[in-house]
Amino acid sequence: MRAGGGPANCGGSDGNSGITANPALGWAVDELVRYGGTGVLAETPEIYGAEHLLIRRAINEGVAKKLIDRYKWWEWYCRGLEAMDNNPAPGNKAGGITTVFEKSLGGVTKGGTTPMTDVFLYGEPITTRGFVFMDTPGHDPVSITGLVAGGCTVICFTTGRGSVFGCKPVPSLKLATNSLVYRHLEEDMDINCGVILEGAPLPVVGRQIFEEVVAVASGKRTKSELSGVGEEEFAPWIIGPVL
């Protein structure tokens, strides 16, 4: 997130992602926008099939067309390689996700509910406040490298399978989608969003995420930073197919 916030990304999604960590992060993004910050959603292939939910939030036709054009480009980019509606990764399937559309519908909730004010190319400087989208591959290190190049200062990373993505040179907040992953990887998970499954109100967890973003932006070290995870995860988008 920029201006006191950062991008919302996910890795190792599971069947809980779309009902715990992702919408809780979306709540935090809405709050960030309310205070004048910028929240950035990315990973274009991983919201395929749910892009209409973002297009209808565009502030004008020009912004909507920017996102539509990116999807047309991706369909061209993947031609002869792999269909955009391919099944999710083996880890996603093991976590309970059955189709890419199911993953996309959960993933888009990371962007909250506020109007989409702009769409940026990979690594393009982010100059607009509010909720915006950046076109990136779904591969976590490549996606977040582009976001960092665009000016994001805090990463919010949801995971249901225990992805240990750390991301330098900016801090990465890890949001566990279920309590089992949080307990097994507590030394690397900053917030347990699995408590939503156990009855905790989603806005309460969203508030916790928002306050943690502010604390990290103000100098608090994330668990990934404390454990040294992410020292070698700066990976620009290379020439050639990257999904």
Give whole-number Cα distances, 187 to 115, 122, 216, 223, in Å.
36, 32, 16, 6
Residue 3 pLDDT grade (very low, low, confident, very high; cuts 50, 70, 90): very low
Please give the share of the chain, as a percent, with pLDDT higher than 90: 63
Q: Which residues, at least 6 apart from 2, have a Cβ–Cβ distance to it below 8 Å? A: 37, 38, 40, 126, 150, 151, 152, 153
pLDDT tier for residue 179 given thresholds of 50, 70 and 90: very high
Query: Which of 100, 148, 160 shows the shortest CA–CA distance to 122?
Result: 148
Residue 236 has pLDDT above 50, yes or no: yes
Per-residue pLDDT for 113 more than 90? yes
Which pLDDT score is estimated for 166? 79
pLDDT at 95: 60
Residue 1's pLDDT is what?
A: 43
Residue 58 parent element (H or E): none
- pLDDT attached to residue 2: 41
Question: What is the per-residue pLDDT across 131-165, written as a single tens digit (0 to 9) for each?
Answer: 999 999 988 889 999 999 999 999 999 998 777 77
pTM of the model: 0.89
Evaluate if residue 86 carries a pLDDT over 60: no
Q: Which residue has the higher pLDDT, 241 or 125?
A: 125
Residue 46 — very low, low, confident or very high, per pLDDT cuts 50/70/90?
confident
Q: Please give the mean pLDDT across all residues of the chain.
A: 87
Beta strands at 191-192 and 116-120: parallel, antiparallel or unpaired: unpaired
- Point out the least confidently predicted range of 155-159, 210-214, 227-231: 227-231
How much is the average pLDDT of 62-72? 96
Torsion angles phi and psi, residue 130, rounded to 5: 95, -160
Provide the pLDDT confidence category of residue 77 given band limits of 50, 70 and 90. confident
pLDDT tens sequence across 4-37: 446 666 666 777 889 999 999 999 999 999 999 9
> What order do you get walking across the sheet with 191-192 strand by strand?
116-120, 130-134, 38-41, 7-10, 155-159, 172-176, 191-192
Q: Give the model's pLDDT for residue 97.
A: 64
Percent of the chain scored above 70 by pLDDT?
85
Kindly state the tokens that stand for 25. 């992060």
- Helices marked H in 35-98: 51-55, 61-77, 90-94
Q: Does the pLDDT of residue 83 top 70, yes or no?
A: no
